[in-house]
Structure formats: structure tokens, C-alpha cells
Structure 1
Amino acid sequence: MVKNYIPVLSIAGSDSGGGAGIQADLKTFAALGCYGMTVITATTAQNTQGVREIFPIPPNHIEAQMMAVLEDIPPKAIKIGMVNQPDVVEVLAKTLKKFPHIPIVFDPVMVATSGDRLIADGTVALLKEQLFPLATLITPNLDEATVLTGYAVDSVEKMHQAGKDILNMKCQAVLIKGGHLNTPVIQDILFQKERPEQSYKSTYIKTNNLHGTGCTLSSAIAAELAKGHELHMAVENARQYVYGALEAGKDIKTGHGNGPLNHFYQPQSQIIHELD
């Protein structure tokens, strides 16, 4: 038997402040006992107060990063985050079609916690057409669901409608995240084809340290899928991890704006599995 770590790949943007994007994904993978790898789609100049500048990585270099990883260390799951240019969408779709057996969690990052828009015009239509059909799960928050559907998703009722509408965009499954409603109980709703809707609820945590919450949740789901969990249990486990990271980091001061979660509040030992 050959022993190996559980590898998980993040395809996303780099956050120079360390709270979101690639940095949050790697922290999450490590905290959940997985071996993290990266394909960087863009670098950002940002901190806890906002995004100052975005520098896109050339598509040919993104493809080179992907193939270098996929040909040598095949991941057990892939998380996709910031994809802000149409030509990057095309490169990702072309490459990922060659690896249909790998589960993909796609967090359609469009708006930062600070409110800064992170996606170029014309990219959304391509995301729906080329990346949605490849993804095991799409994880939009309310702002992103609003961009995708074209109407304001600002209530639980609208979350139910948006989930059904996005599921019809050639998706396999959609998790609508309701954290932006700021209600006493936070509700996320999972929609899967030919299965009943599933709601996940947790108590609202009062904190300004929310930077990277969406990135962390999607990468945690990918890590749990990589471990072999079914989708509904991967979402449950990932939400519990994020809740703990928020609770453990709610009073920690990092920077002068929206601080990050405490990713390493309860780290797991690195998991090693056996290959035939």
C-alpha cells in the first residue's frame, strides 16, 4: 500500500491581507487535516478595510499552474473562488472537463465583504454557461444570488426562489447562504436535483470578523468532500467548522476593518490515507 495525504486544490485569488481567498483556503485545508494546493487566478492589494487593486494572472499561466498540479498530485476535491475575467473562465472549463471525476465546489465570488465588486463585466454569463455544469456545488451568498438571478434576494422566501432558479442554470446543487440577512438565526438552504431542500440553521454571532467567511465555508466543504463525505454531510461539517472559527475569532482584533476568522481554533491532525 502507498500512503498519501488527502490533497485538495484551491483555484482562487490571493488576498494580501491573509483573511480570504487562497490564504483562507489553505488555512482551512490545513485546519481540517488536508494537504492544500493552489492555482492563483489574480492577486489583490487588500486588507481588512477593502480592496485597493486587482491584478489578473495571465490565462496561459493559470492553465500551466493547473496542469502542473493535476498531472502530479491529483486532488480529491477542488474549490473554485475568484474568477473575474471571461478568458479565465474558458481556461478553467477547458481544463477541468478533462477531470470529470473530481468534485468541484464553486464559490462565485463577485462582491467582497467590504462591498467592492470583484468580477469583470461579461463574466457572469460565461460562469453560468461553462463552469456551473461542471460544479458539484455552487455556494452563492445573497449578493451573489442577486447578481445571478437578476432580482433582490433579501428574504428567506426569496432564498427559496433563487435556489430553484439557480439550480435550473445547469447546476447539480446550490447552497444559498443567508448570513447577510443578519437575523437571530442564520439559515443556509441546500438545493439538489430530485431531492428535497435541506435547511441548515445556526445562531447569529455578533462580530465584525467576517472577512473570508464564504471562502472558508466553500473550502471546508471541498475538504469534507475530499474525505469522502456525501454532500449534505460535507455541508453540515463545514458549517460547524465555520461556526467554531467565527465564535473563536469574534473578539480578536486584526487590522482596522473586517477581521478574519480564527481558522486554527481546533486543528485536526493531517489525514493520511492508503492508495492501492
Structure 2
Amino acid sequence: MAEELNSFPQTLTIAGTDSGGGAGVMADLKTMQERHVFSTAVIVAVTAQNTLGVQDFMALPKKLIDEQFASLADDLAIKACKTGMLADAEHVEIVVANLQKYSFGPLIVDPVMIAKGGAPLLADDAIDVVKRDLLPLATVVTPNLPEAERLTDMTIKTDDDMRNAAKVLRGTGAKNVMIKGGHGDTETVRDYVLLENGRDFWLSAPRVDTVRTHGTGDTLSSAMTAEIAKGADVESAIRTAKDFVEAAIRNTIQVGHGHGPLNHWAYGEEQRHEI
């Protein structure tokens, strides 16, 4: 009976909040709900944030983070999880210890470092800890171009640079790598994917002229997490997540005065209209 009660796909986001609602845990929960999984959260940090930027943030005490993990493990059946904002080296280590202690399924690492407005969300001293301790646990790691440069100590300008950076990231222990090209300046956004089995491919989409892209990385990794929790293979999860984000950017909503949020229900609306 207990197994039947916990049979519905359940996911976990391990990240910081966004009081403005567009990124972080808020974007994760919205995305996971739209992908028809039951989403849970371990809050690592709380931010004061809106579309104009991050005004302040505070990381939570270790005891409270540990208790959130223990609470979920005691009752729920998490099938896949993801990380987002982890604040600093100490909190990366806290999260790693809990991921090693509990079985929450495949892990998607979104190595959040800088907010859309430029505020740092990961201390410099935490980057080595992410590479050494967190990436070896990752089923998929999803850096954007600046994050990939920081994680690999490389300058990434060309297609070959992206391929080489992905190989370096695979070398950290991450099984699958997706380097996102949204920070480039080309008319077409191109993401590079290197899979565990050695297969690689590019995902391309026209660049949308909009500033309403706040929470893009959170949304992508959350959609990926949801698909894996439902039983999709990694490549299918990546492709669905990419389509989900494209629709969320393409069908803009007018919220805030700065880097506005995505339209998290757009993909579902498009799918219903195609039926």
C-alpha cells in the first residue's frame, strides 16, 4: 500500500528562493508542476530579488538544510533531483553530504553562479568544491557559457571550444554535459550536448529579441529533472526541456521592469493547440 501511495513521479529542487517569482525554487516548482510531476524543495538560501536584480540573500543554517533532506527522505519517493543556487563552499559541501546520504535518483546540476542582473550567487571559493565534489554526482550538468568557462578555466568562443569544454566537464565525473549557448551573440542559439555514451549533438533555435529571460537555466534543468523522473532517457529529457524553454521565451508575458520571467505555461498551451 505504501508503494502505491508513493507511485506518482516526485522531484526535488535544491536551491535558493526568488522573491520575484521568476527564478530559483519558484521557477523550478512552476516548471515541474507544468511537466506533471509532484515537486518538492530543499531551500538552501533565501533572496530578496525582483526583475531588476538581487538586493540581498542569506544562506540557511546547516541544521535546517539537513532536516529538510531528512524530512523528504522519511516520507517521499523522489525519482530525480536538481541543484541550483548553492551560495558558498560550505553549503555546497552540506548539499553533497546529503546527496550521498539519501537516494533521490538522477541529479541535474545547474551550476548557478551569477544572476541575470549580475549579482554573484556562488562564492568564488565554492567553484573548486563544485568541480571536486558535486559534479562527480551529476547525471547531467547544464552550464551556460560563462559558467562553463569558470568550471573549465577555458575561454569558449568557437564550436571546438564548446566541444573541448564539454570533454573537460565529463572528466570531472559528470555523466552528461549540456553547454548552453544563450550568452552568445549569434542570431541562432546553439547548445552543445555530450552524452555518457559518447554521442554528441547540437540543439539550435532562433534567438528571441527579449529581456524576459529571467530563470531560463532554472527552468531548463527543472524540465529535464521532471522528464527523467517520469522515466525518460537523458537525451529525450534534454530535448523536451529545450522545447519547453523555447516556448516559455517565445510566448512572453509582461512582468516587472527589468529581466522579466518566462511564461511557464506556454509549452502546455502550444501542445493543447496542436491537438
Give the TM-score normalised by the residue count of structure 1: 0.92
Match of 1:195 in 2: 198
8 Å contact kept, 1:19–1:261: yes
Deviation sequence 1:28-80 (CA, Å, 0-9, x none): 01111111100011011111011111111112211111111122112110011
Structure 1 gap segments, 5+ residues each: 269-276
| Whole-angstrom CA distance in 2 between matches of 1:219 and 1:208 | 21
Name the amino acid aligned to 2:19. S
CA deviation after TM superposition for structure 1 residue 6, in Å: 1.4
SS in 2 for 1:148: helix
Match of 1:170 in 2: 173
Task: Judge which range, 1-10 or 33-42, deviates more.
Answer: 1-10
Q: Is 2:22 the counterpart of 1:37?
A: no
Match of 1:54 in 2: 57
| Whole-angstrom CA distance in 2 between matches of 1:5 and 1:27 | 17
Identify if the C-alpha distance between structure 1 residues 119 and 164 changes in structure 2 by more than 3 Å, giving closer, same or farther.
same
SS in 1 for 2:22: coil
Give structure 1 regions of 4+ aligned residues with deviation exceeding 6 angstroms: none
Structure with bigger RCO (C-alpha 8 Å, 6+ apart)? 1
Q: Is 2:206 the counterpart of 1:183?
A: no
CA deviation after TM superposition for structure 1 residue 215, in Å: 0.3
SS in 2 for 1:5: coil
8 Å contact kept, 1:19–1:259: yes
Identify if the C-alpha distance between structure 1 residues 108 and 253 changes in structure 2 by more than 3 Å, giving closer, same or farther.
same
| Whole-angstrom CA distance in 1 between matches of 2:185 and 2:228 | 28
| Whole-angstrom CA distance in 2 between matches of 1:69 and 1:116 | 31
8 Å contact kept, 1:9–1:39: yes
CA deviation after TM superposition for structure 1 residue 101, in Å: 6.5
Structure ranking higher in helix proportion: 2
| Whole-angstrom CA distance in 2 between matches of 1:156 and 1:47 | 34
Match of 1:272 in 2: none
8 Å contact kept, 1:33–1:267: no
| Whole-angstrom CA distance in 2 between matches of 1:231 and 1:108 | 18
| Whole-angstrom CA distance in 2 between matches of 1:139 and 1:161 | 15
Task: Judge which range, 16-25 or 128-137, deviates more.
Answer: 128-137
CA deviation after TM superposition for structure 1 residue 19, in Å: 0.4
CA deviation after TM superposition for structure 1 residue 128, in Å: 1.1
8 Å contact kept, 2:46–2:57: yes
8 Å contact kept, 1:111–1:143: no
CA deviation after TM superposition for structure 1 residue 100, in Å: 4.8
Alignment of structure 1 residues 212-251 onto 2, 5 Å:
212-249=215-252
Name the amino acid aligned to 2:150. V
2:127 corresponds, among 114, 118, 124, to 124
Alignment of structure 1 residues 204-215 onto 2, 5 Å:
204-215=207-218
CA deviation after TM superposition for structure 1 residue 151, in Å: 2.5
Count of aligned pairs between the two proteins: 266
CA deviation after TM superposition for structure 1 residue 266, in Å: 4.3
Name the amino acid aligned to 1:153. I
Name the amino acid aligned to 2:256. G
| Whole-angstrom CA distance in 1 between matches of 2:185 and 2:175 | 28
Give the TM-score normalised by the residue count of structure 2: 0.92
SS in 2 for 1:76: strand
| Whole-angstrom CA distance in 2 between matches of 1:93 and 1:158 | 29
Match of 1:25 in 2: 28
Name the amino acid aligned to 1:262. N
- What is the root-mean-square deviation in Å for CA atoms of aligned residues? 1.5
| Whole-angstrom CA distance in 1 between matches of 2:78 and 2:104 | 10
Match of 1:146 in 2: 149
8 Å contact kept, 1:28–1:219: yes
SS in 2 for 1:161: helix
SS in 2 for 1:29: helix
Structure 2 gap segments, 5+ residues each: 270-275
8 Å contact kept, 1:77–1:222: yes
